[in-house]
Amino acid sequence: MNGLGLEQVWVYLSASPLLHLLATLLAFIVATRINRWAGGTPLLHPVIVAIALLIGFLLVTGTDYPTYFAGAQFLHFLLGPATVALAIPLYDHRERVRRMLWPIAIGTMAGIATAVVSAVGIAMILGADTETVLSLAPKSVTSPIAMGIAEKLGGIPSLTAGLVLLTGVVGCIVGPWIFRLTRITDPTVQGYSMGLAAHGFGTAYCFASVGAVAGAFSGLAMGLSGLVTAFVLPPIVHLFGL
């Protein structure tokens, strides 16, 4: 094939959704392998590595984000039904919730209030733009919910998505350290705290490093705190005059 032919192939591929959908899947497979080689460290989380690989690919090929997203949107769309599906683990754990109703209710409200007030407060004190503050506010919530909240608030959904992922990484690094310092050994408490502060990343960490009970509680916290945050975050943010 001559140079001109290759160029025509590239023109076709870069305009069709096929290339960037495939690139996203391949990047995720490679990133998962890299994470396994690195011993599963949260610093090289597959999602972070896959995003870095794809950003590198877009920069090298000179592709803009809307062109990439035209292909990747098929995966992105599934976040909606996946959010709805969080009702299934919530339903499965309804007995645990009923048994620990008050500790969970109070712990959830305290945790959500801390997450939102500290994120908005610190960012405002340090002088962040309003858009940045609004994008940071839902950072502890699982991304599909966080992006929806950011959009409704007037933040930047795609910035929120990135900040949510980074929050997950931070949570997996600082969480175990905090539990050691404060001598918290109860897996239900560890799991719930990780799921509330670090959403799906915290849940994945708990299943892998703490155990099934911690993982289940973490998943429960992720679903429940996402649901509650969607309702209480807008009024909290209004208290800051935003």
Partner 1 sequence: MSLIIGMSILLGCQFLGEVISRAFTLPVPGPVLGMLILLIGLMIRGSVPGSLRTMGEGLLKYLTLLFVPAGVGLIQHFGLISREIWILVVTLIVSTSVTILVTSQTLQRLARKRTPAKEHDA
* Contacts to partner 1 from residues 38-97, by CB under 8 A: 46-48, 50-51, 54-55, 58-59, 65, 68-69, 72-73, 75-76, 78-92, 94, 96
Q: Which of 43, 166, 212, 239 binds partner 1 (CB under 8 A)?
A: 166
Tokens 């908005």 sit on residue: 120
Question: CB 7 → partner 1: shortest distance, Å?
Answer: 24
118 contacts partner 1 (rule: CB under 8 A): yes
Q: Which of 19, 42, 134, 167 binds partner 1 (CB under 8 A)?
A: 167
Of 230, 229, 212, nearest to 114 by C-alpha is 229
Contact 82, 29 (CB under 8 A): no
Question: CB 9 → partner 1: shortest distance, Å?
Answer: 23
Smaller CB separation from partner 1, 13 or 26: 26
Task: List C-alpha distances in Å: 217 to 115, 129, 196.
Answer: 18, 35, 10
Q: Which of 152, 207, 209, 236 binds partner 1 (CB under 8 A)?
A: 152
190 contacts partner 1 (rule: CB under 8 A): yes
151 contacts partner 1 (rule: CB under 8 A): yes
Smaller CB separation from partner 1, 6 or 88: 88
Q: In one letter, which amino acid is 33?
A: R
* Contacts to partner 1 from residues 196-225, by CB under 8 A: 196-198, 200, 204, 213, 223
Distant-in-sequence, close-in-space partners of 159: CB < 8 Å, separation ≥ 6: 131, 132, 135, 150
* Contacts to partner 1 from residues 7-26, by CB under 8 A: 24-25
In the 3-class helix/strand/coil scheme, how is 70-135 assigned residue by residue?
Answer: HHHHHHHHCHHHHHHHCHHHHHHCHHHHHHCHHHHHHHHHHHHHHHHHHHHHHHHHCCCCHHHHHH
